[in-house]
Structure 1
């Protein structure tokens, strides 16, 4: 009897060594899908360590793509059927890419009447790129005349004074202001000036106001 126990321990240790070294992502779950044991390959797919996977729900780590598949498996396990079950899943890889593949679950137990555990293996079928960096905002484009109009208004100039200093008619100044207002969606001149500073069109911290050396 003691010899049999010793042999069992030896074979258990060998099985665990093989379990850890196999490159295929593998986990052992209870009948409810809670992870009992996971190998490093499975943990790597989740961006963590095997110990941290223990107690996690496998179908939360790997999202089923068809709910009906999971329902059929749950019913089969309730009836103690011992077929191989497959679920199409997707998950977020540690690098941010969206991966998809297939979970295969095999019920295993020491005896026919015992509640089975699930030996779960993951097969990667493909990957979709993750979200890239936010695109850089387009530079604010204004003409030299528009920037000078904004600088004069920021300094308190009226439309008439801005027109005199720029050699334009009042209608000409109003035309530029209307274009800027429509382009930036400003409600009034106060907001228009505020946006000019926020967008870098006017140089902050100087008086009298003046256009920035270069457009933002």
Structure 2
């Protein structure tokens, strides 16, 4: 079934939120198999962060509005870590008169616990750029120090920001220290052992 091959967590629910069918990716987020999700309430599996969001959606569905609805949710991953994401529900049916089913997709916003527990995968050049950034250098100065172009430095910073879900350079440097990429208590900043330092 094509549904099972989709890597995004997806489920089809009735109009009340009871899961009718779920793909393996959705079941994995709940630490179970797709068959065991059948009949479970999607809003008990993924707790809404704001109850008012759910109330507005329920009212819109009662009035047969056919919009895309989004709910910020949190849930406990199989390993015990709290995860955050966004459920998107699209009403779907063959005709406008039919009571719609809900096609529910989950977008995970937080990093997976396994990624947080593993040492971060950082190339020596990335660790060096992060150390230079922590020292207050500009992109142009970091480019000169690393024999890269400004575009090359920005490329590495974009990749790191995407991988660590960092909103800006300050957050990127803070995460580098938190994840052990940069050596704590050292000035000027240097990569921690095993992250590009000698």
Match status 1:84 vs 2:68? yes
In structure 2, which of residues 96, 104, 117 is the aligned counterpart of residue 112 of structure 1? Answer: 96
Q: Deviations over 1:124-149 (max 9, x none)?
A: 0014869xxxxxxxxxxxxxxxxxxx
The equivalent of 2:11 in structure 1 is: 27
Alpha-carbon distance in 2 for matches of 1:106, 1:129: 29
| Structure 1: distance between partners of 2:110 and 2:8 | 15
Structure 1 length as normaliser, TM-score? 0.51
Residue 52 of structure 1: SS of its match in structure 2? Answer: helix
Q: Contact 2:92–2:101 at 8 Å: present in 1 too?
A: yes
* Residue equivalent to 1:149: none
* TM-score after normalising by structure 2: 0.56
Paired residue for 1:43?
27
Instruction: Give yes or no for contact 2:79–2:113 (8 Å, CA) kept in 1.
Output: no
In structure 1, the residue matched to 2:136 is none
The aligned residue for residue 165 of structure 2 is none
SS state at 2:105 partner: strand
**Mind listing any 5+ residue stretches in structure 2 that lack a counterpart?**
115-198
SS in 2 for 1:102: strand
Higher-Rg member (1/2): 1
1:69 matched to 2:48? The reply is no
CA positional deviation for 1:99: 0.3
Size of the aligned set, in residue pairs, is: 114
Gaps of 5+ in 1: 1-16, 131-216
Query: Which 4+ stretches in 1 moved above 6 angstroms?
Result: none
Aligned partners of 2:75, 2:38: CA distance in 1, in Å? 18
CA shift for structure 1 position 42: 0.2
Task: Determine the C-alpha separation between the residues in 2 that align with 1:129 and 1:47.
Answer: 13
Q: Distance in 2 between matches of 1:81 and 1:49?
A: 32
Aligned Cα root-mean-square deviation (Å)? 1.4
- Three-state SS of the structure 1 residue aligned to 2:89 is strand
- Note the C-alpha offset of 1:18: 1.4
Query: Which residue is 2:78 aligned to?
Result: 94
